[in-house]
Amino acid sequence: MKPKSITIIFVCFIIVFLNSISANNNNNNEIPSFIRREPELDRSDVPKNILAASLVGGYSQLTPMMEVCKILKERGYNVTLVAPGNFTAKSIAYRSIPQIITGPAIDSRDFPEFKNLFTDEFTYEFLCFIKSIFNKRYISGFNELKRIATDIKADLFICGYSLNEPCFDLAWKLKKPVVAIGSSMMSFSTPFYKSDPIFGCKSNMENESFYERFRCSLIMPLGFFWSFRHALNDLNYYRAKVGVEPSYTFQGGNNILFLADNFFGFETPFAVPPLHQDIGPILPDIYPDLAPSLSEFLEVHPRTMYFTLGTQSYTTPKNYIILLQSFIELINQNILDGIIWSTVKTNISELPPFITLSSNISIPTSNILNNLYPNFYVTNFASQFALLSHKNLKIYLSHGGASSCHESMYTATPMLMFPLSNDQEGNTEKLVDTESAKRMQILAKVNSKRKYRGADLIEVVLNSVKYRGNMNDNGEWEVDNNVLLKDLITPDTRMGFIKGKYLDVLGTGFLIIIILVGSLGYSIWKFIRFVGKLVKSENFQVSLKSKKE
């Protein structure tokens, strides 16, 4: 090959090489492209008819449920509320959710049986009594829910946890998925160190004596289940009347997703099973503002106390007079300069006509009730969250209901507690055990976003129906609730008590240890005996004697 040809080839090679380097440099300088992750679910062909039911109703029970249902409604699901009282029509926030009214709103004052509920000590015996009363409504509630579920072709049930057995039983009988919503749940998975004042025990048994821990972990629960056996037997009797299988629990099946309106920091922490999800505090995004007259009162009273006992609780006329006397004394001592009293369920006609102070001065009760006393503002209803958010509201005297505690923690408002019944004494103990109001405010604000997590979990259940359910002859989805949420059902529940708790393995391991320790001890004992016999033997004695000689 001629030198000229070699030169041309070499030049061409250099040009190609430089071009490749230039191309690589250009590629390295390009801005990389990205694709966006699509977080939305495919909601096509997913069951969309949701029936949310509560036999008790009321603001405290319905608001957390409706907050989650409102999110589902915005995502395209058809939600219907079944409850007493005209709740959603009176509410701006939930007006888009249709309600089927099952009767007038339940008023605790209308039940003579409940007369002692807010005046005597609340124990589990009284809770059994309440269960027995609602058992008598089981058949009518079950049949009404069944008719409504058939009419709206319900694909999923959301059941308020308290006193709502017909809702859970109907869902299982119709082979529909069911989700429970409540403030707290006591079950067999609850650890021993977590108890409840209805047992006469502390909510947190961490620092209690051996006697108290023994009594509250064994004696009191056994008494509780023994007392409840009558209510459970009655419930199973009514269940049989409508073709529902008897159960050893009030909610029927165990494989139910339970959404708790609670959070650790307020609730005593414990390891919860996957089917139990804390999504609280569930709070609305908007609240009614203060009435102009109430706002004006707060502006001129910079040290104001707010007092209310919630939407259902009340106390005796004597207690009300003692409280009003205390309020006036605090004002006279210049500790407070304003009192806002939301009476709600208070029967003011039963109050004595005069309030006698420690100085023997009497003040007409009507002056306070008619807002003639300048330091008092009495109203039947007040926007609680707006009050707690006001800078001049310094302290909140409350019965200790869950929603009131959540709102007070969210606004970092100090509380005085006047617990009367149900979970109120337990909530009081939990608040006493908390640290600063500002720290609790952080926890409440961060955790308040989890209601969307609750809606997400319900969507997971509905999507599970699509892939694990079957379509019946009527074109409706049916599921086996025992396997629908198998991803969240811990294997021990299917293994039986002995295998599930690994008692067979642990027992065998313990037995092996006992055998090994026993064998070692027996060998040592035999060796010691051998040495002892050897020392005492004649040959050994003669050997020692000869050595000495």
Give per-residue pLDDT as tens, 321-360. Answer: 999 999 999 999 999 999 999 988 788 888 899 998 888 8
378, amino acid identity: V
- The CATH number for 138's domain is 3.40.50.2000
Instruction: Report the alpha-carbon distance of residue 184 to residue 306 in Å, rounded.
Output: 26
Q: What is the pLDDT of residue 249?
A: 81
Q: What is the pLDDT of residue 13?
A: 53
Same domain, 130 and 171: yes
Question: What is the number of other CB atoms lying within 10 angstroms of the CB of residue 440?
Answer: 21
Residue 8 pLDDT > 60, yes or no?
Answer: no
The first and second tokens of residue 283, run together, are 């709070």
- Is the pTM higher than 0.95? The answer reads no
pLDDT tier at 225, thresholds 50, 70, 90: confident
Q: Cα torsion for 485, 500, 239, 155, to the nearest 10°?
A: 0
Is the residue at 211 inside a domain? yes
Instruction: Report the alpha-carbon distance of residue 480 to residue 191 in Å, rounded.
Output: 29
Q: 295 and 303 in contact (C-beta within 8 Å)? A: no
Which residues have CB under 8 Å from 489's CB, separation 6+? Answer: 255, 274, 275
Is the residue at 298 inside a domain? yes
* Bridge pairing between strands 156-160 and 178-182: parallel
Question: What is the number of other CB atoms lying within 10 angstroms of the CB of residue 458?
Answer: 23
Query: Count of domains in the chain?
Result: 2
Q: 117 and 98 in contact (C-beta within 8 Å)? A: no
Instruction: Report the alpha-carbon distance of residue 83 to residue 97 in Å, rounded.
Output: 12
Is the residue at 545 inside a domain? no
Residue 478 pLDDT > 50, yes or no?
Answer: yes
Same domain, 329 and 277: no
The first and second tokens of residue 43, run together, are 């909601």
Same domain, 316 and 332: yes
Same domain, 241 and 328: no
Q: What is the pLDDT of residue 228?
A: 84
Residue 22 pLDDT > 70, yes or no?
Answer: no
Identify the domain boundary among 447, 466, 498.
Answer: 447
Same domain, 80 and 214: yes
C-alpha radius of gyration, the chain, whole number: 34
pLDDT single digits (tens) 458-472: 999 999 998 888 888
Residue 538 pLDDT > 80, yes or no?
Answer: no
Q: What is the pLDDT of residue 25?
A: 54
pLDDT single digits (tens) 124-158: 777 777 888 888 899 999 999 999 999 999 999 99
Q: 195 and 201 in contact (C-beta within 8 Å)? A: yes
Same domain, 201 and 181: yes
Identify the domain boundary among 484, 508, 535.
Answer: 484
Is the residue at 423 inside a domain? yes
Residue 16 pLDDT > 80, yes or no?
Answer: no
Same domain, 268 and 308: no
pLDDT tier at 14, thresholds 50, 70, 90: low
Is the residue at 112 inside a domain? yes
* Bridge pairing between strands 354-356 and 362-364: antiparallel
Instruction: Report the alpha-carbon distance of residue 162 to residue 65 in Å, rounded.
Output: 12
Same domain, 175 and 301: no
Place of tokens 């209803």: 381
Is the residue at 308 inside a domain? yes
User: What percentage of the chain has pLDDT greater than the value 70?
Assistant: 89
Q: What is the pLDDT of residue 285?
A: 93
Q: 432 and 401 in contact (C-beta within 8 Å)? A: no
Same domain, 229 and 339: no
Same domain, 351 and 466: no
Residue 11 pLDDT > 90, yes or no?
Answer: no
Is the residue at 273 inside a domain? yes
Is the residue at 117 inside a domain? yes
pLDDT single digits (tens) 259-279: 999 999 999 888 888 999 999
Instruction: Report the alpha-carbon distance of residue 507 to residue 513 in Å, rounded.
Output: 10
- Kindly report the average pLDDT of the chain as a whole number: 87
Residue 87 pLDDT > 50, yes or no?
Answer: yes
Same domain, 140 and 271: yes
Question: What is the number of other CB atoms lying within 10 angstroms of the CB of residue 131?
Answer: 19
Judged by DSSP in three states, 256 sits in coil
Instruction: Report the alpha-carbon distance of residue 3 to residue 154 in Å, rounded.
Output: 90
Instruction: Indicate the DSSP class of residue 52.
Output: E
Give the mean pLDDT of 25-40. 75
Q: What is the pLDDT of residue 1?
A: 52
Q: Nearest to residue 62, comparing CAs of 288, 311, 386, 422?
A: 311
Give the mean pLDDT of 78-97. 92
User: Which range marks the domain in which residue 313 is found?
Assistant: 292-447
Same domain, 410 and 466: no
Instruction: Report the alpha-carbon distance of residue 293 to residue 302 in Å, rounded.
Output: 15
pLDDT single digits (tens) 484-527: 998 888 888 888 888 888 889 999 999 999 999 999 999 998 88
